Amino acid sequence: MKKNLLWKVVFILAVLVVFVVGIFLGGPDNWNNSIEAIKTRGLLAGVQQNIHLGLDLRGGTHLILQVQVNDALNAETDQTIERLKDALSKRHIAYGDITKPDPVAAPYKIVLRGVDVGAAGDLRSLIQDQFGEYDLASGAENSWTVAMKPTVQDTIKRRSVEQAIETIRNRIDQLGVSEPVIQEHSLGDYQILVQLPGVDDPARVKEVMQSTANRRFSPPTAESCRPTA
């Protein structure tokens, strides 16, 4: 009986030691930093070294970025127009003009006008062979609509958001923020949520975000969050 009690006491003490080490020193890869913090600033510094507070306790900056995914679609269809002009020339298909009637509301749509009725078959064959990511539909007065397929649009939009998140992560490294939150915002379409604990300078954060090269965002909304009591 006494032997079993001794083992229980030893086990409890061992568990307590593990927890104490974890609280004050963290994982093995962080022991040196924690020991140095304790030596210079005391035990509380060791705890703070291993416990990362969120915005509600530590304060920081909260941002929501709107990715302008239509800009990515416009860039893609601009390239398609150039490819299409070249392909039409090589197949000797005459046309009047190629435009995007509404780049803001319908950046995925290209309109081809002035194609001879006799060249309709060649045009269909061309789109099917070289532009499989688009659908072709005939319109009035020898016009044709070349529209990007919805699945392709979704892929481009998703890729644009993913690339933006990766770029933002690289930019945030400049601020030296510990454990930032950078992810797609679930409450809005094509939005990115950025939370930076301990960073209370929204102007500086906006500057870093707006310097993000080759990424299209609406002006970010940012606010400084103070710790709650």
pLDDT tens, 49-88? 555 555 444 557 788 888 999 999 999 999 999 999 999 9
Domain boundaries, the chain: 2-50, 55-70+153-225, 72-150
- 72-150 folds as Gyrase A; domain 2 (3.30.1360)
Fold match between domain 55-70+153-225 and domain 72-150: no
- Quote the pTM value: 0.68
Tens digits of residue pLDDT in 175-202: 777 778 889 987 778 999 888 887 777 7
What is the model's pLDDT at position 62? 80
The answer to whether the beta carbons of residues 168 and 141 sit under 8 Å apart is no
- Each residue's pLDDT, cut to its tens digit, for the chain (229 residues) gives 556 667 766 677 766 766 655 555 555 655 566 566 556 665 555 555 555 555 444 557 788 888 999 999 999 999 999 999 999 999 999 999 999 999 999 999 999 999 988 999 999 999 999 999 999 999 988 899 999 999 999 999 999 999 999 988 888 887 777 778 889 987 778 999 888 887 777 777 777 766 654 445 554 444 434 433 3
- 55-70+153-225, what's its fold? Alpha-Beta Plaits (3.30.70)
Candidates 200, 194, 192; CA nearest to 225 is 200
How far apart (Å, rounded) are the C-alpha atoms in residues 95 and 211?
42
Determine how many CB atoms are found less than 10 A away from the CB of residue 78.
14
Determine the pLDDT at residue 225.
40
pLDDT at 180: 85
Integer Cα distance of 2 and 10 in angstroms: 12
Of 106, 24, 36, the C-alpha closest to 70 is 106
